Amino acid sequence: MKRILTAAAIATLTATGAFAYGDETIDANRDAQRQRIEQGRYNGELTRREYRDLKAEQAKIDADIARAKADGRITKREYSKIHDEQIGSYRHIKSESSDGQKSFWRRWLYQTRN
C-alpha cells in the first residue's frame, strides 16, 4: 500500500511540472520583444518596413505559441522550438534597431496616431 501511494505521489508531482513547461519564460520574452519593437518605432530606430517585418515575425511566433498551448501544455520540443524562434527574433530586433537606418519624424507620427 505504501509503495502504491509513493508511486502515485511521484507520478503526480512529475506530471504537474510538465503542464507549464517554460510558460512564464515564453510569455515574458514575448512581452519584452513587443515592448522593444514599440520602443524602436517610437525612437525612430526602426523604419516602417523593419517594423512591419518584425511584427510579422512576432505574429508567427504567437501562432506557434497558441498551437503549442492548444492541448493545454507545452512539451519540451515545442518549448525548444519557440525559444529558438524567440532568440532569433531578439537578434533581428537588435540588429534592425542598431543598423543606423532612421525613421525621421517617427515620434511625431507615433504620438498623433495614438
Domain ranges of the chain: 2-113
Kindly report the pTM of this predicted structure. Answer: 0.72
For 10-58, how does the pLDDT look when each residue is reduced to its tens digit (9 = 90+)?
666 555 554 556 788 999 999 999 999 999 988 888 988 999 999 999 9
For 80-97, how does the pLDDT look when each residue is reduced to its tens digit (9 = 90+)?
999 999 999 999 999 998
Residue 26: Cβ within 10 Å count: 22
Stretch 47-74: mean pLDDT, rounded?
A: 94
Longest dimension (CA), the chain: 73
